[in-house]
Homo-oligomer: A and B are copies of this chain.
């Protein structure tokens, strides 16, 4: 039982929860906590047994309270895993200014995350790639494409292009492209990110499970070595209805 819950479920609060059966008071208390944000979207509730013990009621009573919140759509149960606060719109935030990892970010929201590879291959560079990566005519380019999935919902398509000089064999990449580059002592030190909005084309829409024309957040990133040489070029397309990009800015004093 977390400390947060100690205050949320304090017996005073439960008693003050108005009249009626125990499970109704408990439900109102939980509902209030969700609406006020004491329980954030994606947060896990403590185990039913813990709640029962803390509120000194039986587990069935706790379950009855939770039952109603589940049928109202405020909570979601996962057998063997826990009970979680639902997200009204499944919005995921990425905070650049914080050092939170993707896994932890998702875990904090009670979401599981994984990837599916769509493509790995060696290609003759497109004009775009040649220009951006500054390739000689005879150098090949490695392309890696994958679908990022959160809570079994496709969230984004990631297309990476890397110069063959830095990544001759794209098939060795398993989880992290950057980890693979690191293995060859290739270390980008700077990146430029370009964020724009675009309407989904048919194939992207199909992969992401949205309708054609839906708004998508396109993020293009080019990363550079200390020498100024471009290493990698990634085009990502995020579902506009499921992804927020959050940045914190500080104002310089002139």
Contact = CB atoms under 8 A, between A and B. Distances in A.
Interface of A: 2, 19, 31, 35, 68-76, 78, 84, 86-94, 96-99, 101-104, 175-176, 178-180, 182-183, 187-199, 213-218, 223, 238, 240-241, 243-252, 254
B97 A94 contact: yes
A244 to B, nearest CB: 5
Nearest to A185: B42
Nearest to A28: B104
A176 B215 contact: no
B195 A88 contact: no
A195 B95 CA distance: 11
Given A2-B19, A70-B175, A179-B86, A197 B194 contact: no
Given A96-B247, A101-B31, A189-B251, A90 B197 contact: no
B93 A97 contact: yes
Contact of A72 (B94, B176, B250): B176
B94 A197 contact: no
Contacts of A217: 195-197
B68 A103 contact: yes
- Residue of A175, A215, A241, A245 ringed by the most chain B CB atoms within 10 A: A215
A191 B240 contact: no
A71 B175 contact: yes
- Residue of A75, A101, A214 ringed by the most chain B CB atoms within 10 A: A101
Nearest to A254: B99
Given A176-B73, A195-B244, A251 B190 contact: yes
A97 to B, nearest CB: 5
Given A31-B101, A198-B215, A190 B249 contact: yes
B247 A94 contact: yes
7 contacts: A71-B102, A86-B178, A191-B249, A195-B246, A196-B240, A196-B244, A197-B218
A211 to B, nearest CB: 10
B243 A196 contact: yes
Contact of A96 (B2, B246, B249): B249
**In the A-B complex, the 6 residue pairs with the closest CB atoms:** A197-B240, A72-B101, A197-B215, A197-B197, A197-B217, A73-B176
Contacts of A86: 178-179, 182
A179 B70 contact: yes
A217 B195 CA distance: 9
